[in-house]
Amino acid sequence: MTEIIESHYNPNDERAKKYDAHNRAIAQELRETLAKIRQGGGEKYQNRHREQGKIYVRDRIDKLLDPGSAFLEIAPLAAHGVYGKDWTPAAGIVTGIGRVSGQECLILGNDATVKGGSYYTLTVKKHLRAQQIALENNLPCIYLVDSGGAFLPMQDEVFPDVDDFGRIFYNQAIMSASGIPQIASVMGSCTAGGAYVPAMSDESVIVKGNGTIFLAGPPLVKAATGEEVTAEDLGGADVHTRISGVADHFAEDDEHAIEIVRSAVSNLNLNSSYQVERLPVEEPHYDPEELFGVVPASTSIGYDIREVIARLVDGSRFREFKARYGTTLVCGFAHVFGLPIGIVANNGVLFSESSIKAAHFVELCSQRKIPLVFLQNITGFMVSKQYEAGGIA
């Protein structure tokens, strides 16, 4: 039976007020950091971008998405503070899940205002993580390509390993062979290894004047052969849609390219076998704003995770699983925005019984195709001869 969680939180408690102030300050700092990251390379490089007739990557994504639909960005904090003075917001690539022509898609867009959209080590890792999500969830991939390829000062870290740059193209081949569509729109430079992204896609678009695809650009061609050639004549939209056949669609500008991509997605004819009954959406019975005062300022201080669940789920209704067993881990069923979910939430030190309960619950959700939400705040594992003998490892 699903019941409304009984909350014992008192917003007027002095400790709750202290937690509230602390957590709101952290949340504000995060919002400010994300706002700065969303500006990419900054106003100077965005203006230069627009002067070339290009649309900024985040605006490209907004235009690509169905009007009024949401975009779930993946790893916006990637590379934040990692490369010191080398400012690389979002690792130079925007990735996320959004709805295009009624179809949920995984979108990857290079940010050319950040080092020309070149690939740092973490750019590669982020690209691969997005592809992994697409593969596991059967999401069509849309690549908005505007990249100078690998960041050459780091090429010894970008290229060599099994899970580095070359894995991107392997993943594309695997997904395409598995029936997961790969669509690319070349809206800027697409040089060297990056040229394989559109070439290995099921459908590709290239923008006149700005989009170029080549393994070696004009300077390298001149150095190697003495031939002088412009970027457009070497690998522009006309060459690749009329002569080489590497690209499938010729676009006049970014807006036109986005229209073509949306049309391509509308013709994918994909049917989801996953059917779920959606209930009417309810607001939580308790105010989600109270979460700031529920969660302690220190991670070493314990609290009842049910107070968090009560402020997240529809109607604060929660059907707890094995409520009397392995009590330092809370598991159960609820709804969020009318959709069923399973929750696995830490509620103290992890014992063997808690782990057994979690494994049982996860298996149930897997069998019933119920998505899982993990609320993780573990203070540690219980250790001693007794617990090692009990199978805690």
Task: Name residue, tokens 């949920």.
Answer: 104
Q: For residue range 307-366, what is the model confidence (pLDDT) as tens digits?
A: 999 999 999 999 999 999 999 999 999 999 999 999 999 998 888 889 899 999 999 999
Task: Please name the fold of domain 38-266.
Answer: 2-enoyl-CoA Hydratase; Chain A, domain 1 (3.90.226)
Please write the tens of the pLDDT for every residue from 182-191: 999 999 988 8
- The pair phi, psi for residue 148, each rounded to 5°, is -85, 10
The predicted-structure confidence for 147-156, as pLDDT tens digits, reads as follows 988 887 788 7
Residue 275 confidence (pLDDT): 73
Which of the four pLDDT bands, split at 50, 70 and 90, describes residue 378? confident
Q: What pLDDT score does 274 carry?
A: 64
CATH topology of domain 3-12+277-389: 2-enoyl-CoA Hydratase; Chain A, domain 1 (3.90.226)
Helical ranges in the chain per DSSP H: 14-37, 43-51, 57-64, 121-137, 155-158, 165-177, 196-199, 218-225, 231-235, 237-238, 254-266, 291-294, 306-309, 352-368, 385-389
Which tens digit of pLDDT belongs to each residue from 64-118? 999 999 999 999 999 999 998 888 999 999 999 999 999 999 999 999 999 999 9
pLDDT at 387 over 80: no
Domain residue ranges of the chain, discontinuous segments joined by +: 3-12+277-389, 38-266
Evaluate whether 3-12+277-389 and 38-266 have a shared fold. yes
**Contact by Cβ (8 Å): 153, 118:** no
Kindly report, residue by residue over 294-306, the tens digit of the pLDDT. 999 998 888 999 9
pLDDT at residue 331, rounded to an integer: 96
Compute the average pLDDT of residues 175-181.
94
State the average pLDDT for the chain: 92
The reply to whether the predicted model has a pTM over 0.85 is yes
pLDDT band at 158 (very low <50, low <70, confident <90, very high): confident
β-pairing verdict for 103-110 and 93-100: antiparallel
